[in-house]
Amino acid sequence: MLGFSIFTCLMIYFAGLYIFSSSRKHLLMVLLSLEYIVLSLFMMIVILIISYDYDYFFPVVFLVFSVCEGALGLSILVSMIRSHGNDFFNSFGISMC
């Protein structure tokens, strides 16, 4: 059962990597794929910690950092939409920095 759970988490992880590498048009899709990858890593960490009967402190720290990463990504998205009007990467030119 543990092997199936790890395999499922790895498939979710690689699906998130595929979405991250193939959809480079919208910033929101990139952020959603990054959160999908973080969710699969969290599931894998929890499964491994449960199977080895370790302390649950590390998943809490991991969730704190992933929430901070998500909040930072959303703040970048909001500032980009306010300054450029959309979340397309092609409208975000180098001259605007």
Task: State the chain's mean pLDDT as an integer.
Answer: 87
The Cα–Cα gap between 16 and 33 comes to 5
Name the more confident of 4 and 2: 4
- How big is the CA angle at 19 (ends 46 and 15), to the nearest 5 degrees? 45
pLDDT class of 42 with cuts at 50, 70, 90:
very high
Class of domain 2-96 as given by CATH: mainly alpha
pTM here is 0.83
Domain positions in the chain are 2-96
Task: Determine the average pLDDT of the residues in 25-50.
Answer: 91
Percent of the chain exceeding pLDDT 90 equals: 54
